[in-house]
Amino acid sequence: MDHGRRHEHRERARRGHQHPGPPALCGARDMSEARILIVDDDAAMLRSTERVLGSRHEVLAVRLPGEALVIAPDFAPDIALLDIRMSHMDGFELATRLRKVVPDVDVIFMTGVVHELDAQLIRSIREKAFYFVQKPFDRDVLITLVERCLEVRRLNAENRAHTQRLEAELQEARAFQLGLMPQGTQRLQRVTVSARYEACAAMGGDFYDWVDAGRGGVSVIQADVSGHGVSAAMMVGIIKAAYRATRVDRFEPLAVVRRIANAIAPFDEGRFVTLFAGRIFRDDRMLEYVTAGHPRPLIRRVEGSLDELQLTGPLVSPALPELDWEQTRAEIHPGDQLLIYTDGIIEARNGGEQFGRERLAQVVTSGAHEGEALLDRVLGAVDEWRGGRPADDDETLLGVSLD
């Protein structure tokens, strides 16, 4: 560093003792030229180290640890070469204080002490130093060490940027996936449908939807795709399209399941989906449905009893193209509550024990909760059962009632 720039930083340091300011913001720059802070109370060693690195990098060399701490926020060093044994403050304490003002600085410790090397090395590792060198050191060794440190910093920066891009893309994909499903509560044909969806990953594998099926009917669907992540989300999108395409069949449940089976046929045979497809006719007080390998929905009757719907066929999978499903019916009356849920609800664990159907039934039949309040009550009970730990699977609930 030339004398003028060194004087500028020292003058800032002098002013900083009086009125310390916030750290300067540093934009992206070529890491082949770095900012290096050298702190050593040995004047000869300080000058020697500065000469070695000054031709390649922007170097600031100071003898006093206190001066280094004042200069550091403005200088924003990439690397700090710190002597371990100094009169006013040792290098370990300086490194700790330095990281409070420049959190991402890499530290290389230097020592001229020949005894207790192992102890100093161990302490350096604990302090998460990039390296530890013994003085005097070879010029080429120091240059290579700094270059290696900068290369690691560059790779780490690229990894962070890549991770941030992936996280942003996942958030966009999650928002898109959530947009495929209606939120909250909606009233159609005097039928009220409510939903709750808790994904255990950025991209979940559960899906639900509801539509006006025409002629006084309301269609509802809930599906649980095997796995999580992008591939599961892709299958969810295909299921959504297949479901909506069943409008030509007025969303007849059996037609819904068959169309979805055809839509996912090109997927790997290891993939599968469980689903419930139903169509409610309020005036007829009738529910037509297919339960394809899905947990059996519950109907809490207005007088307080609980009915469990039938399982009418196997799960849907490209590996089982020859299988078919049955469509059946159940009565549903005003005041009844239909609860459709994925296996993440009943398989939630407390230690080795699952939440289970019996506990779910107890929650559903206790109290007079309806609609969204019932769904919130179930989710609250499941979360309490897990002890507040993160869920291992997506948790999805649909509540359906007749006015």
Q: Is residue 82 part of a domain?
A: yes
- Euclidean distance between the first and final Cα of the chain, in Å? 80
Residue 126's pLDDT is 77
What is the three-class DSSP state of 275?
strand
Predicted confidence at residue 125, as pLDDT, reads: 74
Beta bridge partners of 401: 192, 337
The sign one gets for the Cα dihedral 157, 160, 164, 169 is positive
At 340 the three-state DSSP class reads strand
Query: CB under 8 Å to 383, separation ≥6 — which residues?
Result: none
Rounded to an integer, what is the distance from CA 225 to the centroid of its chain?
Answer: 19
Q: Are 203 and 233 in contact (CB under 8 A)?
A: yes
214 pairs with which residues across the strands? 217
107 and 140 share a domain?
yes
| pLDDT for 390 | 87
The pair of three-digit structure tokens given for residue 241, joined into one six-digit string: 């399209």
390: number of Cβ within 10 Å: 9
Burial pattern 19-44, b for ≥16 Cβ within 10 A else e, equals eeeeeeeeeeeeeeebbbbbbbbbee
Instruction: Check whether residue 255 and residue 112 sit in a common domain.
Output: no
My answer on whether 255 and 375 are in the same domain is yes
- Domain containing 250 — which CATH number? 3.60.40.10
Question: Mean pLDDT per segment of 10 residues, for the chain of length 403 residues?
Answer: 51 40 39 84 90 91 92 94 86 90 91 70 76 81 90 92 82 73 91 92 83 93 88 88 96 97 92 97 95 97 94 94 92 95 95 94 85 93 92 93 90
Residue 164 forms part of a structural domain: no
- Give which of 98, 107, 120, 110 is closest to 152, Cα–Cα: 107
Do 267 and 389 belong together in one domain?
A: yes
Query: What is residue 9's predicted lDDT score, i.e. its pLDDT?
Result: 54
Q: Which domain holds residue 34?
A: 3-18+29-159
Tally of domains within the chain:
2
Q: In whole angstroms, what is the distance from residue 12 CA to residue 166 CA?
A: 40
Q: Which phi and psi angles does 259 have, rounded to 5°?
A: -65, -40
Q: Are the beta carbons of 252 and 244 closer than 8 angstroms?
A: no
Where residue 215 falls (left for φ over 0; alpha for ψ -120 to 50; beta otherwise) is left
The answer to whether residues 189 and 224 touch, using CB atoms and an 8 Å cutoff, is: no
pLDDT given at position 15: 41
Give the integer Cα–Cα distance in Å for 139 and 73: 28
166: in domain: no
The pLDDT, as a whole number, for residue 20 is 37
Residue 167 domain-assigned (yes or no) = no
